[in-house]
Amino acid sequence: MRKPPETKRYHTLTDELSTRYGKKTFKIALDGSFTCPNRDGAKGTGGCAFCSLRGSGDFAGDRTRQLADQFSERLALMKRKWPDGKYIVYFQAFTNTYADPKHLQELYESAINLDPDIVGLNVGTRPDCLDDAVVAVLKELASKTDVTVELGLQTIHPGTQAAMNLCYATDDFDDAVVRLRSARIPVVAHVIDGLPDETPEMMRETIRHVAALGVAGVKIHMLHVMNGTAVGARYAADPFPLLTLTEYVSIVCDQLELLPPDVVIHRLTGDAPAALLIAPEWTKKKFVVQNEIDKELRRRDTRQGSKATRSL
């Protein structure tokens, strides 16, 4: 008899969604025509140093098209791989709570009603763009569908935050998580490994901080050095050290060990548009990265949560 494949040693988003909804469930990334307070001068200009001109929404829908058209186009692409499934609409590009609450309510309502198989709404945003009125909108939507907020943190270290022009602090993130959790809205923390001048221990410290806050999920990926970004310009002028694949895999496995086993792992590697990516080249091979992480966890005979402390 053929031996079944070994299950992952961490709590994957794929397994979480399949268990919750009973079939393959995937995100449809839409562009809600938002901007960012770190681009329009409200908090800063130029955006975060690593952020692309499309506000990290390079794989979302076309903002010049209506939401319904974006959804249909993206869904057709996804159905080539998964003909039958459930869908989560995902507002990904720029800061998706940076608007009048009434507009947000109307936009989100229209999105969750685009298809009867939509089971959730994911909203990507900054921690400093979640005032009480916006949280109230999200809480009201959560009575109609499963709402999750994907919240950019990247790092807890002030020096890196300043160097990357984030224009928010760790306290902003902590406050946003506490208020969202009080509204019973799950939070997914975004973290970037390999930011300039950060050590592996600094990256582990960021994950320890995230774990202590009791977030529902985590998304980790390597720094992508891209054309059209401040990081890309800095690297072109004076290349700084980047993590190798082996170094990245080791750090990610350390971080998984520190995360409680119930935290859902949304991503352990990511994409950058091939036309924009400068380095590192190994990030283009996502399956290789994922396989190396699996191999390292097996080599260590460890798994997610093996060194975790309980959440606050």
pLDDT in tens, 49-89: 998 776 564 566 677 889 999 999 988 888 888 888 899 99
Residue 182 lies in a domain: yes
Residue 245 lies in a domain: yes
Residue 143 lies in a domain: yes
What is the pLDDT, as a whole number, of residue 193? 98
pLDDT at 173 over 90: yes
Q: Which range among 57-61, 108-112, 267-271, 305-309 shows the weakest confidence by mean pLDDT?
A: 57-61
Q: Which domain holds residue 31?
A: 13-300
pTM above 0.85, yes or no: yes
| Domain containing residue 163: CATH number | 3.20.20.70
Residue 7 lies in a domain: no
Mapped onto helix, strand or coil, the DSSP state of residue 22 is: coil
pLDDT at 3 over 70: no
Contacts of 203 (CB under 8 A, 6+ apart): 155, 191, 193, 194, 251, 255
Residue 6 lies in a domain: no
Residue type (1 letter), 281: E
Residue 307 lies in a domain: no
Residue 179 lies in a domain: yes
- Copy the structure tokens of residue 254: 């350390």
What is the pLDDT, as a whole number, of residue 60? 61
Residue 5 lies in a domain: no
Number of structural domains the chain divides into: 1
What is the DSSP secondary structure assignment for residue 72, as one 8-state letter?
H
